[in-house]
Amino acid sequence: MNFKNIAILFLIGTVSVSCSQQSDSTQTARSESQTSPVFSKGEKITNDNFVGTAWLNYLAEADTVHNVNIGLVTFEPGARTNWHYHKGGQILLVTEGKGLYQEKGKPVEIIEMGQVIKCPPNIEHWHGATLTEAMTHIAIGTNTNIGGAVWLKPVTDEEYNAI
Amino acid sequence: MNFKNIAILFLIGTVSVSCSQQSDSTQTARSESQTSPVFSKGEKITNDNFVGTAWLNYLAEADTVHNVNIGLVTFEPGARTNWHYHKGGQILLVTEGKGLYQEKGKPVEIIEMGQVIKCPPNIEHWHGATLTEAMTHIAIGTNTNIGGAVWLKPVTDEEYNAI
């Protein structure tokens, strides 16, 4: 996922101390009786690399020291990325709900909270919510020193509804 | 954090499909009324790189494709890592509670749920819970192709209690 294309979206609240800390200041410490999310969903994505309504909270920008970028992406029901691939690969940590993941030429997979998906470099794929349920994942773009996401065509309604 | 030293600890439940998926099978889809964690806390850490009681769920092992490792580490009150550094750097995503983070020669920082801490390579540091509150973070070891964690001395009770 190329977060550089989403340059106008930025973290809600930052705290800068020593070793480059950021905080999502809209969150308070969670107790057992609270169900507020750990990270806010951020800003609505407005570029054309997604179909439907999706949100991005850019947790960590790529830099030349760590060579990863990290974003929290929330897909409302029916929302999904376009087909795309990552020059350096990607790892998804599904943190809420149920969603879909598909690689080119392979069947669609259901992905759920608690799952970890490793996507190798240059494998065309898409991911998103189901038609009826939202899904949130932490998306870690790896080896950003090699390159980022390359965006392709949308997942059409025909493709998506046939699942 | 060198997860290779914790080789006997492994994920609870795995599902292997296409693009290398893993799932924490003890978790069910979370609804608004549930407060069960997204990822289980895993296994108690038994090596001597930690003081106190801490748990590790190894979400993604390092590989030569992605060059990161990802673990969920839960520190019970009073628990902390030893002093250590990462040859390739590290990024922490604090997902629960309140904890402590300190780099050598700098004051201790309080870190809280929702914060992101970027730790550059070769900077000696430690992190853990406070004396009275637990803390959980996702720890992403970056550039594992360069190397992993190098473990140093414990944070003594004298150092820790003086905070």
pLDDT per position as a tens digit, B67-108: 999 999 999 999 999 999 999 999 999 999 999 999 999 999
d(CA A134, CA A76): 5
Indicate if B79 and B135 belong to the same structural domain.
Answer: yes
d(CA A72, CA A1): 11
- What residues of A are in contact with residue B72 (Cβ under 8 Å)? none
Q: Do B93 and A70 touch (CB under 8 A)?
A: yes
**How many separate domains does chain A show?**
2
State the pLDDT at residue A94.
98
CA distance B34 to chain A (A): 7
Dihedral pair phi/psi, residue B161, rounded to 5°: -70, -20
Indicate if A26 and A49 belong to the same structural domain.
Answer: no
- What residues of B are in contact with residue A93 (Cβ under 8 Å)? 39, 59, 70, 138
d(CA B48, CA B44): 12
Whole-model pTM: value is 0.83
State the pLDDT at residue A37.
82
Tell me which residue of A10, A8, A74 sits closest to A37, measured CA to CA: A74
Indicate if B122 and B93 belong to the same structural domain.
Answer: yes
Indicate if B55 and B122 belong to the same structural domain.
Answer: yes
Is the Cβ–Cβ distance between A23 and A10 less than 8 Å? no
CB atoms within 10 A of CB A46: 11
Q: What is the mean pLDDT of residues A2-28?
A: 44
Indicate if A93 and A141 belong to the same structural domain.
Answer: yes
Q: Is B33's pLDDT higher than 60?
A: no
Indicate if A130 and A50 belong to the same structural domain.
Answer: yes
Indicate if B31 and B71 belong to the same structural domain.
Answer: no
pLDDT one-digit tens code per residue, B144-161: 999 999 999 999 999 999
Mutate to test the interface with A, among B30, B116, B142 (most CBs of A within 10 A): B116
CB atoms within 10 A of CB A21: 20
pLDDT one-digit tens code per residue, A94-145: 999 999 999 999 999 999 999 999 999 999 999 999 999 999 999 999 999 9
Q: What is the mean pLDDT of residues A57-82?
A: 98
Indicate if A72 and A108 belong to the same structural domain.
Answer: yes
Indicate if A20 and A63 belong to the same structural domain.
Answer: no
Q: Is A5's pLDDT higher than 80?
A: no
Residue of A nearest to B97 (CA): A29
pLDDT class of A20 with cuts at 50, 70, 90:
low
Q: Is A32's pLDDT higher than 50?
A: no
Minimum-distance CB partner of B93 among A59, A101, A111 = A59
Indicate if A71 and A147 belong to the same structural domain.
Answer: yes
Q: Token pair of B126, please?
A: 């430690």
DSSP category for residue A151? E
Q: What is the mean pLDDT of residues B135-142?
A: 98
Alpha helices in chain B (DSSP H): 157-161
Inter-CA distances, B86 with A45, A92, B53, Å: 34, 23, 22
Indicate if A128 and A90 belong to the same structural domain.
Answer: yes
State the pLDDT at residue A13.
38
Q: Do B30 and A93 touch (CB under 8 A)?
A: no
State the pLDDT at residue B37.
82
Q: Token pair of A30, please?
A: 């969670």
pLDDT one-digit tens code per residue, B5-26: 444 444 443 333 335 566 553 3
- What residues of B are in contact with residue A23 (Cβ under 8 Å)? 112, 114-116
Minimum-distance CB partner of B113 among A30, A96, A125 = A30
Indicate if A60 and A77 belong to the same structural domain.
Answer: yes
CA B94 to chain centre: 9
Residues in chain A, total: 163
Q: Do B66 and A109 touch (CB under 8 A)?
A: no
Q: Is B35's pLDDT higher than 80?
A: no
pLDDT class of A7 with cuts at 50, 70, 90:
very low
Q: Do A27 and B120 touch (CB under 8 A)?
A: no
Task: Round the average pLDDT of chain A to a whole number and report it.
Answer: 86
Give the count of Cβ contacts less than 8 A between chain A and B.
158
Instruction: Encode A48-102 in three state secondary structure.
Output: CCEECCEEEEEEECCCCCCCEEEEEEEECCCCEECCEEECCCEEEEEEEEEEEEE
Q: Do B123 and A19 touch (CB under 8 A)?
A: yes
CA distance A157 to chain B (A): 24
Which of helix, strand or coil describes residue B98?
strand
Minimum-distance CB partner of A93 among B20, B30, B59 = B59
CA distance A5 to chain B (A): 22
- What is the domain extent for residue B31? 1-36
State the pLDDT at residue A24.
53
Task: Answer left, alpha or beta for residue A54, where phi above 0 means left and psi between -120 and 50 means alpha.
Answer: beta
- CATH, residue A76: 2.60.120.10
